[in-house]
Amino acid sequence: MKKVATAAMLALALVVCGCGSSAPPNAVTTNTSGNWEAQLTGGTGAAADLNFTINFSVSNTTGEAAQVLSISGFSFINDGPCFLTGVSGTSQAGSATITTLSTSQVQGGMSLTISSNATSGTQEGNTLTLTAPPPGGVGGMSSGTTATSGTLSNGVACGVWSLSSSVPANQAICGSSMAPITGNFVMCQNSTTCPCPAP
């Protein structure tokens, strides 16, 4: 009888405390979508001015890990000899963390990788990586609050980029893992220009 009572008390305690639940208390979701335009500065020669537009959506819940970007469109504005043009010229992948603050402002971080799909030539084996580190690499405003879900507007991501190639013949113009070509970037939601988030 004592064992049954102990088991019942333990089960009740688990129900009351919600132990094992992965959702944080007062979970708030921030959604974002739309066209983002990236302006890259720095770099040299062929790796200069690798500007592009990208369309993605992502939904983040406060307190949870970075979520995968759902990318539906991508196009280089200036691609240079390190990347192929066209829809199938590259593959893109990324993730973001976006948190709504008490002022309805958002902060977070984002990472994005653009890989060339070329199997030969100067475009083969090249990868462009952009990193907007948290907590202040991503900014903007949310229609939600710390207690309600919302949608991001006036979004901006700022950080650093690097370009490297895994093909030795291409490393002189597109960088290598040991000596990547680097610079800074700003990426604006539904706008061509925007200020970086305040530090």
Residue 38 has pLDDT above 90, yes or no: yes
Whether residue 12 lies inside any domain: the answer is no
pLDDT attached to residue 15: 33
Which of the pair, 8 or 28, is modelled with greater confidence?
28
Mean pLDDT in residue range 52-61:
91
Mean pLDDT of all residues belonging to the chain: 83
In a domain, 168, yes or no: yes
Q: Look at residue 62 and tell me if it is in a domain.
A: yes
Is there a domain that residue 13 lies in? no
- Kindly state the percentage of the chain with pLDDT values over 90: 57
> In the structure encoding, which two tokens stand for residue 65, read together?
């890990």
Least confident of 2-16, 23-37, 149-163: 2-16
Q: What is the pLDDT of residue 181?
A: 93
Q: Which domain, by its residues, includes 157?
A: 29-189
Q: Is residue 17 part of a domain?
A: no
Please give the pLDDT value at position 86.
78
In angstroms, the CA 62 to CA 23 distance is 9
Distance CA 30, CA 144 (A): 7
Q: What is the pLDDT of residue 28?
A: 66
Is 3 within the bounds of a domain?
Answer: no
Average confidence (pLDDT) over 86-110: 90
What is the pTM (predicted TM-score) of this model? 0.83
Mean pLDDT lowest among 41-45, 107-111, 161-165: 41-45
Is 199 a domain residue? Answer: no
Provide mean pLDDT across the span 71-95: 89
Instruction: Give the total number of structural domains in the chain.
Output: 1
pLDDT the model gives residue 147: 84
